[in-house]
Amino acid sequence: MSEKTKVLLVGGTHGNELTGVHLLQRWQAAPDELVRPNLTVTTLFANTAAWQANRRYLDADLNRQFAQSDLQNETITHQEGRLAKSIAAQIGPKDQPKHDFIIDLHTTTANMGITLVLNSDCAWALRAAAYVQQHMAGVVVMSKTTDRMEDTFLISMGRQRGIIVEVGPVPQGVLNGQVFEDTRIAVGHLLDYLSTMAQNRSLPDTINAYEFEAKVTYPVDDTGAIIGMIHPALQNRDYHPISVGDPVFLVQTGEVISYNGASGLVGGFINEAAYYDQAHAFSLLRPVVLKVL
């Protein structure tokens, strides 16, 4: 049986954008509205402290805190920096997202109607946005391409990122029935599409793959000339585990150089002719499981 697609629905990322917060309350009272075949939908009330203060944020904009470098930066200790780290611990880590797609509910004081903001040119978000446009009049798509790990927005914590539903005009700290309904209906269409997409697939849920980790260079002399070769025990062993102590290089002198690096890795591009000019002997790769959506 196919694994369900995991969707995270976020409100209150900005504490004074009330629509998302009140929609979460509605769905707490009427959870059936979020149920779709092949989907697991969970909700997150992102910044409760800012909401209690009726402010966008207390110290810094939460929706700019999710770059991987900032999440890993221990010197960022303000309220929303800590909050982002705590959210990331819950729904991440960022390089191993727990959710496939994130829908983040926002409002604006600008007259932007129903705008879907994408941070990626990946087919998934584009298709979902096209589906909503197809089923709902007046929906605008705003797009910007960012690297997922550098992306500062909360939706970047999703495996295939997600979509910000940005509806306005409505003042900060104000609920507006039309904005509420427009947002609710747009979310419904997004869930419909994600459900259909999850339904029609006959592909495996995950694939085993390898991610590039590091280059290993040949031993060289003072002039930079290569003085070793791939050890016979490593030759042809692409995608096999390399352990500390395994012979890696045979030096022309007869000396054997053993592996002394991280564990859990495999070799790739072992003895690739094209890389001799860079003294690049082989690559270290990390086995990973990629989720196929």
Residue 82: other Cβ atoms inside 10 A:
13
Binding window for its own copies (CB under 8 A); candidates: 179-187, 246-254, 256-264, 284-292: 284-292
Min dist CB 201 to its own copies, Å, is: 8
Min dist CB 268 to its own copies, Å, is: 6
Min dist CB 247 to its own copies, Å, is: 17
108 to 137: interface string for its own copies, x by CB under 8 A: xxxxxx-x--x-xxxxx-xx-xxx-xx---
CA-based nearest residue to 268, from 233, 246, 231, 241? 241
As given in the structure block, the two tokens for residue 231 are: 């050890």
Decide: is 225 part of the binding site for its own copies (CB under 8 A).
no
As given in the structure block, the two tokens for residue 129 are: 């946005």
Binding window for its own copies (CB under 8 A); candidates: 184-192, 230-238, 243-251, 253-261: 230-238
CA atoms within 13 A on the CB side of 196: 11
Min dist CB 167 to its own copies, Å, is: 12
Binding window for its own copies (CB under 8 A); candidates: 74-82, 104-112, 183-191, 255-263: 104-112
- If the CB atoms of residues 33 and 113 are measured against its own copies, the closer one turns out to be 113
Min dist CB 178 to its own copies, Å, is: 15
- If the CB atoms of residues 76 and 122 are measured against its own copies, the closer one turns out to be 122
Decide: is 247 part of the binding site for its own copies (CB under 8 A).
no
Tell me the β-bridge partners of 15. none
Binding window for its own copies (CB under 8 A); candidates: 20-28, 39-47, 81-89, 201-209: 201-209
Q: DSSP letter string over 188-216?
A: HHHHHHHHHHHHT--S-SEEEEEEEEEEE
- If the CB atoms of residues 109 and 252 are measured against its own copies, the closer one turns out to be 109
Q: DSSP letter string over 22-50?
A: HHHHHHHH-GGGG--TTEEEEEEE--HHH
Burial of 144 (0-12, 13-18, 19+ CB in 10 A): exposed
- CA 121 vs. chain centroid, Å, equals 13
- If the CB atoms of residues 244 and 290 are measured against its own copies, the closer one turns out to be 290
Tell me the β-bridge partners of 140. 115
Alpha helices by DSSP H, the chain: 18-29, 48-52, 68-71, 79-91, 123-135, 177-199
Residues lying near its own copies in the complex (CB under 8 A): 14, 56, 61, 108-113, 115, 118, 120-124, 126-127, 129-131, 133-134, 140-150, 159-160, 169, 171-172, 200-201, 203-204, 207-212, 235-239, 268-274, 282, 285, 288, 290, 292-293
